[in-house]
Amino acid sequence: MIVITNPIPTTNEISTIHSLFKNGLELLHIRKPDFSVAEMKAFLLEIKLEFRQQLVLHSHHQLAPAFGINRIHLTQNIRKEISSETLYLYNEQGIRLSTSTHDIESFNDLRIFFEYGFLSPVFSSISKTNYESDTSLFESIKNRTNFSTQLVALGGIYSENISETIEAGFDDVALLGTIWNSNNPIENFKLCQQIVLSY
């Protein structure tokens, strides 16, 4: 299971991140689109060294080696601009790649370089107002042909719809709003984790 940071700073964010890892979080995506390089460095320095290899950078990818991070995430727009040669070099350097997609056709077209891809929004987003898909992604994933890349559901995921999501054919889920918009982020995480691990 994956958690994505809130794009904006949240109360007790670093202590929550450490608690998530201590409770079994596998990967944390650092998505802070407005951060400068200096702000990103400061943020990463606050995260304990023991958890750095479980971080995935969405921006300022050049910082990854200095922080012992070997995972980067490419947005849909950046992915379309990057050549196969560059993706190959990332893989050769031991960089593990993930990316974002918003329709099953784009997911099916992902090349072998990507370990997993987000498909979103599966449900109406918890963290973004009026952000929902024009088509049913549950219906469209019946047309999935790419099984070498893990398919990760994102958007409106919380404990009550995880079972439905996994049973529909998604390999994993990513959480954002159900963690950061909650008064009990760790309890929410543990509940969602328990459901995912039951499959």
**Residues 140-164, mean pLDDT to the nearest whole number:** 95
Looking at the structure of the chain, the number of domains it has is 1
Q: What Cα–Cα distance (Å) separates residue 114 from each residue in 96, 170, 180, 184?
A: 7, 16, 27, 33
Structural domain span for residue 120? 2-197
CATH number, residue 157? 3.20.20.70
Enter the tokens of residue 169.
């054919």
pLDDT tens track for 34-84: 999 999 999 999 999 999 999 999 999 999 999 999 999 999 999 989 998
- 3-42 residue pLDDT tens: 999 999 898 999 999 999 999 999 999 999 999 999 999 9
Residue 131 has pLDDT above 80, yes or no: no
By C-alpha distance, which of 120, 137, 136, 138 is closest to 177?
Answer: 120
Residue listed under structure tokens 């997609």: 101
Burial label for 6, CB within 10 Å (0-12, 13-18, 19+), is middle
